[in-house]
Amino acid sequence: MSLRVWIWLVSLSVLWGGSFFFAKVAVAELRPLTVVFGRVALAAFALNLSLWLTGQSLFRRETPWAAFIFMGLLNNLIPFSLIFWGQTHIASGLASILNATTPLFTLVVAHVTTRDERINGAKVAALLTRFTGVVFLVGPDLLVGDRSGLAGQLVCLAAALSYAFAGVYGRRFQSMGVSPMQAAAGQVSASAMLILPIMLLVDRPWTLPATPSASVWAALAGLALLSTALAYVLYFRILAATGATNLLLVTFLIPLTAILLGTVFLGEHLVERHFAGMTLIGAGLAVLDGRIAARLRAAK
């Protein structure tokens, strides 16, 4: 990858790693579904404004709203809700590490649902390595009975599975003639419309005991504008410039930002097994990427 793409990749990891920090701040005073709505609604406004400024619009007869709704469920509504609820029980850094299992689930989902992305020997090795990392992360809580922490970890893994389905489903937008910006704006717009009645019914935000603080409003703005709207722009640029394989590297970089922000600003602490699990997950990603093995073979 070129230096420019590496800068984009690192920037994306910071934006998405920061989402766990922003979410942790926001859910301290707001309920999870309210945070989800704020994130997707503000991001939808920013992305639709960008489309309008470039002479585009989602509100046309041929707009594939059914596909946007389904993508919004898989890529926004379900995983955001699960992760934000999970972060009420576990540290933001741990949530980001569990989110790094997304490529593991993507391998399995793509193998089952597509014909062109089958699991081979290298992918099996990656699966086993990353599964071992997940066992390091979650396994001890199954034994000691930390039910709230265990539930938080399991829903974050379920969010990663939802992201995996979204990644496979989202490939169809290119063949439908939908531009990356339109796909991003469409899914967050659909998500905002879907989550609004659910949020009002479940969270009832008008019953909050106090008005959210300035730090919460700032975190919500950062979550929507930086970690969602701007992040999607970078995501699709990297995808166009270097492909999905290189883009997967971001999932290992994200926890570094999330852990650093959680440690410095939130006073969070992870134990040794969390870092061991992250190392194994990263090793599985390296096996999946294949470039290290190729260089070793070339050096012989």
Residue type, 144: V
Give pLDDT tens digits for 19-29.
989 999 999 99
Q: How many residues does the chain have?
A: 300
pLDDT recorded at residue 188:
93
Give pLDDT tens digits for 231-280.
988 877 777 677 665 666 677 677 777 877 888 888 877 667 667 777 77
Query: 């800068």: which residue's tokens?
Result: 7
Structure tokens at 71: 């993508």
In whole angstroms, what is the distance from residue 181 CA to residue 56 CA? 10
71, 166 Cβ separation under 8 angstroms: yes
- Kindly report which listed range (1-10, 38-47, 119-128, 134-143) carries the lowest average pLDDT score: 134-143
The mean predicted confidence, pLDDT, of the chain is: 82
Residue 87 confidence (pLDDT) above 80: yes
Give pLDDT tens digits for 144-181.
555 567 888 889 999 989 988 888 888 788 788 888 88
Task: Report the domain count for the chain.
Answer: 1
As a whole-number percent, the residues of the chain with pLDDT over 70 amount to 79
Residue 52 confidence (pLDDT) above 70: yes
Structure tokens at 250: 């971001």
DSSP label at 76?
A: I
Structure tokens at 45: 């406004």
Residues spanned by the domain of 134:
3-299
26, 87 Cβ separation under 8 angstroms: no
In whole angstroms, what is the distance from residue 71 CA to residue 188 CA? 9
